Amino acid sequence: MNDDVQLDYPDYRSTRLRAPKRPLVTLPEELHTLDGPVFGDDDIAELEADLTRQHDGEPLGERITVSGRVLDAQGRPISGALVEVWQANAAGRYRHDVDRHPAPLDPNFSGAGRCLTDDEGRYRFVTVKPGAYPWRNHDNAWRPAHIHFSLFGRLFTQRLVTQMYFPGDPLFEFDPIFNSVRDERARQRMVSEFDWEATTPEWALGYRFDIVLGGNGTPFEEER
Active-site residues, by number, are 94, 133, 143, 146, 148
List C-alpha distances in Å: 132 to 37, 74, 156, 211: 34, 34, 32, 23
Cβ atoms of 144 and 167 closer than 8 Å? no
Could you say which DSSP state residue 79 is in? T
Burial 166-179 (b: 16+ CB within 10 A, else e): beebeebeebbbbe
Q: Which helix (H) or strand (E) holds 194?
A: strand 193-194
Which amino acid is it at 162?
Answer: T
Beta bridge partners of 46: none
Count of C-beta atoms within a 10 Å radius of residue 127: 27
3 state SS of 47: helix
Neighbours of 193 (CB within 10 A): 15
- Counts of helices then strands in the chain (DSSP H, E): 4, 11
Sign of CA dihedral 67, 36, 43, 95: negative
